[in-house]
Amino acid sequence: MKTMEWELFRLLTDCLKKNESAFDAARLTDLSSKRWQAFLTLAKTQQVMPLLWHRLRQKGLNEAVPLDVAESLREASRRNTLHNLRFYGELRRLLSALRSLMEIGEHTQDPVGAGASGRHNQSCDMEDLR
């Protein structure tokens, strides 16, 4: 890995660390526009842009980020939030359907997945082989 890439990788991992101690904001403010773009590309490649924005804000380092980079990170965070909300809605629908199936099983006294013997269908056991 080239020196510049390694430095950006170290910077990214340091930014992503949960602890707030001993991070020098000058490491961010000293980045050139070109290096900021490379840093942003690295974060995007690693799929950590939303987390990066969260950590920078958590550490109070968001002020050290250029406006265009901050906007890109905010947008990635917003898209991630919308994506998660869609998944949450889908999960709620699936859980609701599962509850309905469980209620049907309770009302029929036949648990979901039980066969004619009243046992749950599972992998093959010795009784199935007779």
pLDDT of 69-110, one tens digit each? 999 999 999 999 999 999 999 999 999 989 888 877 666 665
What integer pLDDT is reported at residue 83 of this predicted model?
A: 95
CB 54 within 8 A of CB 74: no
Q: By CB neighbour count within 10 A (0-12 exposed, 13-18 middle, 19+ buried), where does 41 fall?
A: exposed
Write down the pLDDT at residue 100: 86
Higher pLDDT, 103 or 128: 103
Q: How confident is the model at residue 55 (pLDDT cuts 50, 70, 90)?
A: very high
Q: Does residue 3 carry a pLDDT above 90? A: no
* Residue ranges covered by each domain of the chain: 3-107
Is-above-0.75 flag for pTM?
A: no
DSSP assigned state of 63: G
- Cβ contact 77:50 at 8 Å: yes
pLDDT of residue 23: 82
